[in-house]
Structure 1
Amino acid sequence: MSDWFPEPARREIERHAGFSLVDVFDELPSTSDHALANLAAYSQRLPALVVARKQTKGRGRGTRSWFAGDGALTFTAMLGEKDTPIATHHWPRCSLIAGVAMCQTLEALTQQDTFQLKWPNDVFLNGRKVCGILVEKRDAAEPVLCIGIGVNVNNSLEDAPADVQQKAIALTDVTGEQHFLPEILLGFLTRFQALCTQNVDALTDLLPYFQSHCLLTGRTIETRQAQQTIAGECRGIDAAGALLVDTPTGQRQIVSGEIIRW
């Protein structure tokens, strides 16, 4: 086990977060790609976790990539039907739950009050992206929920190109500290599990927090669903997790798609 992720930390995550397997790597092209490539094996030991300190070919939504340098926290959690109280047909709401869980985890760790959520689940700090989340449902012996997350933690972006610094930030750039990555991981996993239990039927309990942290509320945004483009003023989300957009023809509920301007 690596120094950055000592064996006692792995055992603590298995015990307190209830994971059957925590697979730790110093570097991977992508934790999600590794998880999916070995899904048949991992599905025999759910819930399972793949963790890496650095990934070189991380995946975002669509064709986007997520590069995470040395000192980042990147991981993919694999959950079966028995590992979350959220029914399989409601698994898409786990995307928003994951975003809130990570936002709350980072707030508690850093005591910063400038974290925000960009629908559905990107986490921003001081107006710049600090965490990306990709939730996918795959089928092995049973349906598997794969939650891939990359957090800029100790991988400072102070020396990154100006265009990168304008868009992204790391925790250490704000706190001036080096953070213990397993602590963040365990904090997220336990908060995610608690939020799933609290929001089994709807996102009602989660709604006030998301609304108060919504990066897009009050902004003019443009979304794209398939070939359809919708533009208007964002009004937050509803209890189903849909993005609310006031358009010239009335309020629209956006349940999926990409935000292309904001």
Structure 2
Amino acid sequence: MSDWFPELAQQEIERQAGFAQVDVFDELPSTSDHALANLAAYSQHLPALVVARRQTKGRGRGSRSWFAGDGALTFTVMLGTKDTPIPTHHWPRCSLIAGVAMCQALEELAQSDAFQLKWPNDVYLAGRKVCGILVEKRDAAEPVLCIGIGVNVNNSLENAPDDVQQKAIALTDVTGEQHFLPEILLVFLTRFQTLCQQNVDSLEGLLPYWQTHCLLTGRSVETRQAEQIITGECRGIDASGALLVQTSAGQRSIVSGEIVRW
């Protein structure tokens, strides 16, 4: 086990978060690709977790990439049907729950109120992206929920090109501190589990937090689902996790797709 992720930290995650298998790597192309490539084996030891110190070919939604150098926290959580109270047909809600869980975890550790959420699950800090989340469902012996997350923590972007600095930020750029990555991971995992237990039937319980942290509320947004483009003013989300957009023809509920302009 590496010094950045001590054996004791692995044991605490296994004990406190109840993970059956925790694999830690110095470098992987993508934690999610590794998880999916070895899903048959991991599905025998769920819940499972893959963590990497560096990720060279991380994946975001669509064709987007997520590069993470030294100091970032990159990991993929694998959950079976018995590892979450959220029923399989509502697993898409876990995307928003994961975003809220990470936002709350970072907010708690950084003692900052500058964190916001961009639908469906991106976490922003001081107006720039600090965390990306990709949720995928795969079938092995049983359905498996894979949650891939990348967080800019100790990998300062202060010396990055201007175009990168305008869009992304690291936790250390705001706090001026170096953070213990396993601590952030454990806080997220336990928070995610708690929020899943509290929001089995709907996301009603998350609405107050989302409303105060929504990056897009009141802004003009353009969403795309397949070939359909919808433009209007963001009004937050509803209890199902759908994005509410007030258009010239009335309010629309966007259940999937992406925000292409805001």
1:40-189 map, 5 Å: 40-189=40-189
Residue identity (%): 85
Distance in 2 of aligned mates of 1:239 and 1:49: 29
Which ranges in structure 2 are unaligned for 5 or more consecutive residues? none
TM-score by structure 2 length? 1.00
Amino acid at match of 1:57: K
What per-residue deviation string (whole Å, max 9, x for no partner) do you get for residues 93-129 of structure 1? 0000000000000000000101000000000000000
Match of 1:198 in 2: 198
What's the offset of the Cα at 1:38?
0.3
What's the offset of the Cα at 1:53?
1.2
Residue correspondences, number: 262
Distance in 2 of aligned mates of 1:191 and 1:17: 10
Which secondary structure state, in structure 1, belongs to the residue aligned with residue 145 of structure 2? strand
Let me know the Cα RMSD of the aligned residues. 0.3
What per-residue deviation string (whole Å, max 9, x for no partner) do you get for residues 106-162 of structure 1? 000000101000000000000000000000000000000000000000000011000
What's the offset of the Cα at 1:188?
0.2
Distance in 2 of aligned mates of 1:211 and 1:44: 39
Which ranges in structure 1 are unaligned for 5 or more consecutive residues? none
Match of 1:240 in 2: 240
What per-residue deviation string (whole Å, max 9, x for no partner) do you get for residues 27-56 of structure 1? 110000000000000000000000011100
What per-residue deviation string (whole Å, max 9, x for no partner) do you get for residues 161-209 of structure 1? 0000000000000011000000000000000000000000000111110
Structure 1 runs of 4+ aligned residues shifted over 3 Å read none
Which secondary structure state, in structure 1, belongs to the residue aligned with residue 205 of structure 2? coil
Is 1:255 the counterpart of 2:255? The answer is: yes
Distance in 1 of aligned mates of 2:207 and 2:5: 34
TM-score by structure 1 length? 1.00
Amino acid at match of 2:227: Q
Distance in 2 of aligned mates of 1:115 and 1:27: 28
Match of 2:225 in 1: 225
Is 1:13 the counterpart of 2:13? The answer is: yes
Is 1:34 the counterpart of 2:44? The answer is: no
Which secondary structure state, in structure 1, belongs to the residue aligned with residue 82 of structure 2? helix
Amino acid at match of 1:210: W
Amino acid at match of 1:142: E
Amino acid at match of 1:144: V
Distance in 1 of aligned mates of 2:33 and 2:167: 25
What's the offset of the Cα at 1:211?
1.1
Distance in 1 of aligned mates of 2:119 and 2:44: 33
